[in-house]
Chain A
Amino acid sequence: MKTGTLLLSMALCLPTGPLLGQGLATDAWPTYAGDYSQRRHSTLRQIDQTNVRHLTLAWVRRLTAGPDAGEGSWFGPPPGPPAITGGVAQEPVTSPGSTSGSPRLAGSILQVSGILYISSPDNAWAVDALDGHVLWHYWWKSRGGIHIGNRGMAMYGDWLYFETPDDYLVSLDAKTGQERWHKEIADFSQQYFSTTAPMVVGDHVLVGTGDDLDAPGFLQSFDPKTGDLQWKFYTVPMNQGDPGLETWASLDAARHGGAQVWTPGSYDAETHLYIFGTGNPTPAYTAMLRAPRDEHTNLYTCSVVALNVDTGKLAWYYQTSPNDTHDWDATQAPVLFDGMFAGKPRKITMQASRNGYVFVLDRTTGEHLLTAKYSDAANWAETVNAKGQPVRNAAKDNTVAGSLVSPDNGGATNWNPPSYDPRTGLLYVVLREIYAMYYLTDKDPRMLVGLGGSEQDVVGSLGTSIVAIDYQTGKLAWKYRLTGGSGTGLLTTAGGLLFANDGSGSLVAFGLRGRRSPVPLWHAQIGSIENAPETYTVDGRQYVLVTAEGTVWAFSLQ
C-alpha cells in the first residue's frame, strides 16, 4: 500500500518536470491515460514479443449496474456488496446500463495500490486487482441526461471524482465508496450531459462537460477537498469585449456556439499548461447564422486550447477546423512529447483530429509546426491555408441534394485514444475511412438547433486501420488494415507490443517492428471491446486490462 501511495503522490502531487515530461506510465494507472502526457505508452516490459503468446486470463469480472447489482442468485457466486446509493432524483430515470443490466465500460480504469476503480454512467466500483472481486459499488440515482458513456474517474489521495449524465461532480471515499459530496456542474435545463473523466492536477479537479443543444462550452476547476469552484473558462465568447467575439456573426450566436470540453486534456508540468480539445460549433450543420463570412471562424470551437492550470487563463489556442459544418470535434487526445523538429529540439503536442488531419504544435507557445492528412478518404476540404488549417469546401457541406463526404459522422478517429511510442517517434491512431451521404433536412437555418438538420447515411467504407504517423513529416510509416469495423483505443509498451481491438471481437497484441508493418502475435476473442487497453504491475506481475460487454478482463503471463 505504501509503495502505491508513494507512486500516486509522485504522479499527481509532485509534478516534477522530468518524470511527467517523459510521461512514463509505470506500475500504477492513476489517471485517465495512465499519465499526463496521454501517450498511453508503458515502460513495462515483463510481457514482450517473445513471451506474449503465453499471455492468458488472470481473472474476469462481469459487472451489473443499478441498485440491485449486489443480489446474487441461489446458484450463482456469492453476491457482491449492496450498492451504496447517492443522487438527487426522487424517482430516478430508468436507463438500461445505469439502473439495471450490463454497464457500458467505455472509460479508463484507475489502478492504484492494487485496487481498480471502474465507472460507467451512474455507477462506480472498486475491484481487487488480484482476482477481480468487488469491494464496493456506488450507484447514483439519476434525474436524466444522455447516458452515452463515462470516460472514467480521477483520484486525489484517498478521494475519487466522477461525473454523472445529469451534471454532477461526485466525490467518493476510495476506501469505502461512501460519498463525500456532490456539486452541480452544469445547467440541466440546457441539456448539458457529462461523460468525461475529470483530471486532477495539483490542487485542481478539472471538469469538462458536454451538450448537443446550442449551449456554450466550458472547463471548470474545483477544489479537491471542498468541491468549491476555483475558476471557469468559457470556450466561446460570452460577453461584449471578450476575445474572439469578432469571429462570430453576433454575441447571441457565440453564446450558443458549443465548443464543449467532453474529453480529458493533457498536462505539461513544466509550463503548468492544461492542453485540451474543444468540440464543434452549434448549430452544427449550418454556418449561415453563426459564420456567414470566412473570417467567422467561431473561436474556440474545434480547437486545441492551452490554459494555465493555476489561473484558468488562456495561454494559446490552435483551431483545427475553422468555421466547421461537419461536427469535427477537436476533442482527440493532444499527446505530449519532446523531439527534434526541422533540426530543432521541440516540446510538442500532437493531435490526430476527427477531421482526418494531424496537427503538430509547439506546446509551450501553440506555434503551428505541421499539418498532414492522415486519412486518404477525407474529402471535405481541398486546401490547407497559411496557418496549416484545412479550408472547408462548401460543396461538401450538408446539402439538400446530398453530398458524398468522408469521414462519416464518427470521424477519421474519435474519442478512442491513440498511443505514441517515443522509441520510434510514431503516433499510432485508429483510422476510419467511411463515407456518408450528408443531407440537409431543412432549408431554413433558423430551424437548425444543436445536431439537428442533417441526415447522414453511411454508403461505404475503405476500411478501418491502425496507422503509424511520423510526427516529423506527417507521413504514414505503415497502415495496418483491420478485418473488423471499429477500434476503441490503443496501448503500446516497451516490450515492443501494441494492444488493440481488432473490431472482430478480439483483443490483439501486435509485435511492433519499427517502421515496418506490425505482426499479430496474440489474441483473445472476448466480444465487443468497449475501452482502450491498459497495463500496470501488481505484486510484481504485469497485467493487461480491457473491458468488453460490461465485463472486465485481466490478462497476465502464467
Chain B
Amino acid sequence: MHLRRRLRCCGVLIIAGLTSLSAAQAPAQTRSPDYPERPPATPEQVARGQQVFRSNCSFCHGSDARGGETGPNLVRDVVVLGDQKGELITPIVQNGIPAQGMPKFALSTADITDIAAWLHSQPLSDRGAPSTLDILVGNARQGASYFNGAGHCTQCHSATGDLAGIGSRSEPKAIQNLIVSGGGGGRRRRSAGAAPPVKVPPTTVTVTFPSGQRVQGELDHLSAFVVALREPDGTYKSFARHDSIPKVVVADPLQWHIDRLPQWRDADIHDLTAYLVTLK
C-alpha cells in the first residue's frame, strides 16, 4: 500500500517533468478529443447570434437556451447536437413546429447561422469539474464544541498543534474532506502537486512467527500469500503466508476515521468545517 503511494508520488514528479518538457518542446503525443469539435466561430459571430437569440427565442427557450416555461433546453437538443452551421436549425426556425406550438420566425439564414454559432459555443456538460460554490453552511461554535467534546477529536488533534493555521493553508472543501478521511481517502484522488494538509503516519504491520519471533515495520504489500514491510532502517523484508501463518496485524493510524464513516452526521461534518476554517 505504501509502495503504491510512493510510486504515485514518483509518477506525479515524472508527469510534472514531462509537462515542463513538453511546454518547452512540441507536445509528443496528443490524445484526440472523444467527439469532433466544430471549427470555432468568431467572437463577433457568437455575440451576434446571442443577440438575435435573445430578441427572438429566449422568451420560450430561456435567455441561456437551457429551457424556459414553454420551450425545451436547446443546448442538449438532438437537432442542435447534430447541426454544424445552422443547416438543421434553419428549416425549423423558418417553418416552425406548429404541432408543438412553435411559431415560424422570419429570420434570415445568416441570422440563424449566427444563432447556431452561439448555441454551439455553449458548454454541454461540466462533468468532473470541481465545485466552486461556497460550501460553508455550518455553525463554527457548535463545531468547536463538537471538536472538543462529542467528537473526541482532541484525542489525536489540537487546534494549536497539528491543525494550527489549517484555515490559511487549505480551502474549506479540502478541510471538510480531510475531517472525514483523516488524510486517508483523499490521498487517492489528490490532484497532482497538492501537499497533504496534515501529515499522516505510515501504516505499520507486525508479523509474528510460531517461534515467537516478531518483525515490525512500515507496511509495503499485503495479500493472502505475501506480507512485505520496511524496517525502520529501510530494510525491505517479505514473507510468505500459509494458512494465516505467520500472524499479521496491521495498524492503520486512520482507523478511527474508518470506524467513524458509518456514524457521521452531515451536520457535524459541516459544523466542524466551519470551525476549522477559523483556525487561521
Q: Using Cβ atoms and an 8 Å threshold, which residues of chain A touch B125?
A: 212-213, 449-452
Q: Is the CB of B223 within 8 A of A455?
A: no
Q: List CB contacts (< 8 Å) of B240-268 with chain A.
A: 243, 254, 257-258, 261-262, 264, 266
Residue B126 interfacial (CB < 8 Å)? yes
In the complex, how many residue pairs between chain A and chain B have their CB atoms under 8 Å apart?
A: 181
Q: Using Cβ atoms and an 8 Å threshold, which residues of chain B touch A403?
A: 266
Q: How many residues of A contact B (CB 8 A)?
A: 66
* Chain A proximity of B219: nearest CB distance (Å): 10
Q: List CB contacts (< 8 Å) of B49-76 with chain A.
A: 62, 64, 66-67, 72-73, 75-76
Residue A308 interfacial (CB < 8 Å)? no
Whether A457 contacts B76 in the complex (CB less than 8 A), given A451-B127, A504-B221, comes out as: no
Q: Using Cβ atoms and an 8 Å threshold, which residues of chain A touch B78?
A: 187, 190, 215
* Of listed A214, A403, A453, residue having the most chain B CB within 10 A: A214
Residue A51 interfacial (CB < 8 Å)? no
Interface-side segment among B9-17, B132-140, B154-162: B132-140
Residue B31 interfacial (CB < 8 Å)? yes
Q: List CB contacts (< 8 Å) of B184-199 with chain A.
A: 184-186, 188-189
* Of listed B29, B31, B180, residue having the most chain A CB within 10 A: B180
How far apart sit A447 and B137, CA to CA, in the bound complex (Å)?
23
Q: Is the CB of B135 within 8 A of A462?
A: no
Interface-side segment among A141-149, A202-210, A298-306, A341-349: A141-149
Q: List CB contacts (< 8 Å) of B209-228 with chain A.
A: 221-225
Q: Is the CB of B32 within 8 A of A457?
A: no
How far apart sit A188 and B36, CA to CA, in the bound complex (Å)?
10
Q: List CB contacts (< 8 Å) of A434-473 with chain B.
A: 434-435, 437, 439-444, 446-447, 449-453, 455, 457-462
* Chain B proximity of A97: nearest CB distance (Å): 10
Q: Which single member of B62, B225, B262, B266 contacts A402 (CB below 8 Å)?
A: B266
Q: Annotate B22-63 by CB proximity to A: 1 below 8 A, 0 otherwise.
A: 000000011111111000000000000000000000000010
* Chain A proximity of B37: nearest CB distance (Å): 10
Q: Is the CB of A447 within 8 A of B66?
A: yes
* Chain A proximity of B81: nearest CB distance (Å): 5
Q: Is the CB of B126 within 8 A of A453?
A: yes
Q: Using Cβ atoms and an 8 Å threshold, which residues of chain B touch A402?
A: 135, 173, 176, 266, 269-270
Residue B96 interfacial (CB < 8 Å)? no
Q: Is the CB of A504 within 8 A of B32?
A: no
Question: Taking CB as reference atom, which chain A residue is nearest B130?
Answer: A455
How far apart sit A449 and B65, CA to CA, in the bound complex (Å)?
13
Question: Taking CB as reference atom, which chain A residue is nearest B265?
Answer: A404
Q: Using Cβ atoms and an 8 Å threshold, which residues of chain A touch B181?
A: 458-460
Q: Is the CB of A437 within 8 A of B180?
A: yes
Whether A449 contacts B124 in the complex (CB less than 8 A), given A401-B270, A437-B176, A462-B261, comes out as: yes
Which B residues form the contact surface with A (CB < 8 A)? 29-36, 62, 64, 66-67, 72-73, 75-76, 78, 81-82, 124-127, 129-138, 173, 176-177, 180-182, 184-186, 188-189, 221-225, 243, 254, 257-258, 261-262, 264, 266, 269-270
Which A residues form the contact surface with B (CB < 8 A)? 93-96, 143-147, 187-191, 193, 212-215, 252, 256, 289, 376-377, 379, 395, 399-404, 406, 434-435, 437, 439-444, 446-447, 449-453, 455, 457-462, 483-484, 502, 504-506, 508, 519-520, 523
